[in-house]
Amino acid sequence: MDDNQKIVGVWGLAAQVYEDVDTGERVPIFGNNPRGRQIATADGRWLALATGEGRPVPTTDAERAVALQTMIAYTGRYRCENGIVRTRVEAAWNEAWVGTEQVRNLRFETDDLLHIVSDPMPHPNVPGRRVRVIVTWKREE
């Protein structure tokens, strides 16, 4: 079975770590118990949503800004090839990603455990730093 077939399904967020490219420091940026789902359909649709643990309901503009910094969400068409998943972003929490192709390395540890890793990049949730985003998903269905 190829990666395009293996990735299809609903995945729950198990862990999300940002690795600082300069220092190698790894930080569970959304806490030890983040929430989220990744959905990949057989016809090539992708949806990823991740939120930090313990997020309060925002009631002020400042709290809404923090809420935006403790999440990621994007959707679009995807394809897998040679251990890489490419998503052509159609909508995202970060408008700068819309119209771009997000490229991630993927590795299936088992049929039910998937690691997706970005190349080093500036990330809108950690201004001024270049990070690799390391996300671990556990199959739900």
* 69-88 per-position pLDDT tens digit: 889 999 999 999 999 999 99
- 1, pLDDT greater than 90: no
Q: What single DSSP character describes residue 130?
A: E
Catalogue all structural domains in the chain, each as residue range(s) with its CATH number: 3-139 (2.40.128.280)
Instruction: Give the model's confidence band at 141: pLDDT under 50 very low, under 70 low, under 90 confident, else very high.
Output: low
Q: What single DSSP character describes residue 95?
A: G
The whole-chain average pLDDT of the chain stands at 93
- 99, pLDDT greater than 90: yes
Distance CA 89, CA 98 (A): 5
Mean pLDDT for 20-33 is: 91
Report yes or no: 114 and 7 within 8 Å, Cβ to Cβ: yes
- 4, pLDDT greater than 70: yes
